[in-house]
A and B are shown apart, each in its own frame.
Chain A
Amino acid sequence: MSTEYNKPLPVPQKWSREFWKGTKDHKFLLKKCKDCGNIDHPPYYYCTECMSLEHEWVEASGKGTIYTYSTTYMGAPPVFTKEQPFTLAMIDLEEGPRMLSRIVDALPEEMKIGADVEVVFEDVTEDTTLVMFRLVK
Chain B
Amino acid sequence: MSKGQFAIIGTGEVPCGWYPDRSHLEIASMAAYLAIKDAGINKDDIDGVLGQMSIMGNDWNTEVTFGRLPEALGIKNCKTTALVSSGGASSHSIRKAAEGLLISGHDMVLCVHSQRFSEFTPGQLAEGFAKAGCDPEWEIPYGMSFNALGAMVTQRYCYETGTTVEQVGSVCVAARKWALLQDNAMNKKDLTLEQVMGSRMVSTPLTAFMCNVLADGGSAFIMTTAERAKKLVDKPIYILGEGSRYSHRNLTKAKDLTRIVTKPAADEAYNKSGLGPEDMDIAQIYASYPVFTLMIFEDMGFCKRGEAGKYFMDGNTMPGGKMPVCTNGEALSFGHTGTGVGTALLVESVRQLQGKAGRAQVPGARFLIEDCGGGAFMDVHCAVLGNEIP
Chain A residues engaging chain B, CB cutoff 8 angstroms: 7-13, 16, 42, 67-78, 80, 83, 86, 88-90, 97-102, 108, 113, 124, 130, 132
Contact = CB atoms under 8 A, between A and B. Distances in A.
Nearest to A91: B252
B156 A13 contact: no
Contact of B204 (A76, A83, A102, A108): A108
Interface of B: 123, 126-127, 130, 135-145, 147-148, 151-153, 155-156, 159, 200-206, 208, 211, 250-253, 257
Contacts of A73: 200-204
A78 B143 contact: no
A113 B135 CA distance: 23
A72 B148 contact: yes
A30 B140 CA distance: 19
A13 B153 CA distance: 28
Given A42-B250, A88-B143, A10 B126 contact: no
A68 B250 contact: no
Given A74-B201, A100-B250, A100-B252, A68 B159 contact: yes
A90 B127 contact: no
Nearest to A86: B143
A100 B139 contact: yes
Contacts of A108: 204
A23 to B, nearest CB: 11
Nearest to B151: A70
A100 B126 contact: no
Given A69-B152, A72-B203, A113-B155, 11 more contacts: A7-B141, A10-B141, A72-B143, A72-B202, A73-B204, A75-B202, A76-B145, A76-B148, A77-B130, A88-B144, A124-B141
Nearest to A48: B253
A75 B145 contact: yes
Contact of B152 (A74, A78, A90, A102): A90
B295 to A, nearest CB: 14
Contact of B148 (A11, A88, A132): A88
Contacts of A10: 136-138, 141
B123 A77 contact: yes
A97 B142 CA distance: 18
